[in-house]
Structure 1
């Protein structure tokens, strides 16, 4: 779909910011450009929408040379998200989301439909469309910045370190959002980052650059197993390299069967099940096992006194991961968010498993001591 051939950018007559790079990106891929400062990753990205004009080489999209297209029209056909998300403060959220569609002269009906569709995708209420950026939190503004790039239904989305200035939890949440949107919509995402963990988590393939050149372009698993040279090995870091250990297994290898209750059950039935299973938190689903939320022991106490139903009592803001997620992402999330467990769902949001701190600990023990030997146990440590 997108083909880069012998692309070069020279500044000041001699400095090669990008030096003769070539790569092909397929439709629907998530590509991460990564490298140290001055590696050429951002310059390469910005040549794709001609914010920077190449010195030589070609970029084609669906076989068409982008230099033959009007640069303004080209930019309107490619989504773009930057670190400073640039929501216009004097415009409402709806006006910000539909900025490019307005330039493309969409009808009011189509703009309204698209704004409602996109704000729903990022789990923000529809009434936010009439608010201004200053009335939203930084994380909420960042979500709007992400979906604004999708508003004109472009097939290619460029993202230039969009989460670099965010706190770890907000960043983690938005990474999940971006990956979910990319998979759901089938768009081609090209993402610049300096964070190797972020690249591994998000990308189908990673392009590692140094001094304007591509050092290695491959899947995260292949790069971690077979770094091209010492530069890549050092850039990745020894802690991430795969050396016949399970840190790249998917959650399917580690999840346990979750305890859940359907939303139509009574509080008394919920209490009985939690007591039977000796748990302090229970997941709530509908009759078809779609994950709806959770109830913890504090909720139960309050709800029982007030005679509330499960549907009114349950928490709906629940972090979940997909069945194909890498296990190391679950470990990172549990540490960052300080949560005890994470539900695992399929593409239809059907509850199929649970990742807990305790079963992750078992995997760590297996990694350190091996499955054939027992971890040393100190006296008096039989019970947690």
Structure 2
């Protein structure tokens, strides 16, 4: 779909920002460009929509050289999301989402349908379409920035560190969102980041750049298992040892059975279940076992003592993983967000399992030291 050959950018004064970059990107791939500051990753990205004009080399999309296309037409055919979001403050959310479709002269009916559909994908109320950006939180504005890039049905989306300025919880949530949207809508995403964990979590393949050159372009697992050189080894970091082992697991293989209670049950029943099961957290579900939230010992103190039902006191702000998620992503989420545990759900939000810190300790021990211990036993 996207072919880049001998791409080079030299700025005035002889500074080489990108040096003979060559790679191919397939339709529907999620590609991450990563490197240290000044490595050329953002310049490479911006040459793909001619925000920066190449000094030499060739870029083609579906066989068409982009230098032969009108730059404005090219940019309208490629989604673009930046860290600053760039929502127009004087426009409603509806107008922001449909900005490019309006320029492409879509009918009002089609624009409205698209705005409603995209807003539903990011779990925001339809009423928000008539709000202004200032009425939304930073995380909600970032969601709008993401779906605005999808509104014109472009096949290629460029994203330049879109989550870099966000707090860890919002960032984590939006990472999940963009990966899910990419799979659902079959978009090709080229994503610039300085965060190796983010690249590993999101990308199908990672392009590691250093001093303008592409030093390795491969899947996250292959890069972790076989770094191309010392720079890549140092960039990966020794603390990611668990990800370099060949027996990387998914959450499905190691999750345990969670203790849950349905939302209509009484608090007395919840307390008795906690005592009987010797846990300090219950996961709250509906009648179809769909995860709604959680209940902790702490949430049963103070004013909660006057309440009667689980529905009155449970916490709806629950962080979860999907079945099939890589274990390393769950490890990062638990450690980065300082969680004691994290539930696992399927695509229909059914509660399927639980990963705890105790799980992780056992897995890390087995992964990092298990083989060494086995060798000593064999001696």
Q: TM-score, normalised by structure 2?
A: 0.89
**1:344-363 pair list within 5 angstroms:** 344-363=344-363
- CA offsets 1:300-331 (integer angstroms, 9 cap, x no match): 676784444x5565433221112222222222
Residues 225 and 242 in structure 1, CA contact (< 8 A), matched pair in contact too: no
- Using a 3 Å threshold, how does the CA distance of structure 1 residues 315 and 244 change in structure 2: closer, same or farther? closer
Q: In 2, Cα distance between the equivalents of 1:268 and 1:340?
A: 24
Query: Which residue is equivalent to 1:132?
Result: 132
Residues 242 and 328 in structure 2, CA contact (< 8 A), matched pair in contact too: no
Shift of 1:191: 0.4
Residues 225 and 245 in structure 2, CA contact (< 8 A), matched pair in contact too: no
- SS of aligned partner of 2:181: helix
- CA offsets 1:270-314 (integer angstroms, 9 cap, x no match): 455444323332223344433333333455676784444x55654
Shift of 1:247: 8.7
Shift of 1:182: 1.6
Q: In 1, Cα distance between the equivalents of 2:49 and 2:289?
A: 44
- SS of aligned partner of 1:354: strand
Residues 256 and 353 in structure 1, CA contact (< 8 A), matched pair in contact too: yes
Shift of 1:33: 0.4
Query: Which residue is equivalent to 1:379?
Result: none
Aligned residue pairs, count: 373
Q: In 1, Cα distance between the equivalents of 2:6 and 2:286?
A: 54
- Using a 3 Å threshold, how does the CA distance of structure 1 residues 338 and 240 change in structure 2: closer, same or farther? closer
- SS of aligned partner of 1:334: helix
Q: In 2, Cα distance between the equivalents of 1:194 and 1:369?
A: 30
Q: In 2, Cα distance between the equivalents of 1:246 and 1:329?
A: 16
Query: Which residue is equivalent to 1:195?
Result: 195
Shift of 1:346: 2.4
Query: Which residue is equivalent to 2:377?
Result: none
- Using a 3 Å threshold, how does the CA distance of structure 1 residues 371 and 300 change in structure 2: closer, same or farther? farther
- SS of aligned partner of 1:172: helix
Q: Aligned-residue CA RMSD in angstroms?
A: 2.6
**Does the alignment pair 1:239 with 2:248?**
no
Point out where structure 1 has 5 or more consecutive residues left out of the alignment: 375-384
Query: Which residue is equivalent to 1:91?
Result: 91
- Using a 3 Å threshold, how does the CA distance of structure 1 residues 361 and 212 change in structure 2: closer, same or farther? same
- CA offsets 1:36-66 (integer angstroms, 9 cap, x no match): 2221111111111111122222222222222
- Using a 3 Å threshold, how does the CA distance of structure 1 residues 350 and 3 change in structure 2: closer, same or farther? farther
Residues 43 and 52 in structure 2, CA contact (< 8 A), matched pair in contact too: yes
Q: In 2, Cα distance between the equivalents of 1:68 and 1:367?
A: 52
Shift of 1:158: 0.5
Query: Which residue is equivalent to 1:281?
Result: 281
- SS of aligned partner of 2:110: helix
Moved more, 78-87 or 61-70: 61-70
- CA offsets 1:108-161 (integer angstroms, 9 cap, x no match): 222222222222222222222222212222222112111111111211110011
Point out where structure 2 has 5 or more consecutive residues left out of the alignment: 375-379
- SS of aligned partner of 2:354: strand
Moved more, 256-265 or 165-174: 256-265
Query: Which residue is equivalent to 1:2?
Result: 2
Residues 254 and 360 in structure 1, CA contact (< 8 A), matched pair in contact too: no
**1:2-41 pair list within 5 angstroms:** 2-12=2-12, 14-41=14-41
- SS of aligned partner of 1:20: strand
Shift of 1:354: 0.7
Residues 209 and 216 in structure 2, CA contact (< 8 A), matched pair in contact too: yes
Query: Which residue is equivalent to 1:370?
Result: 370
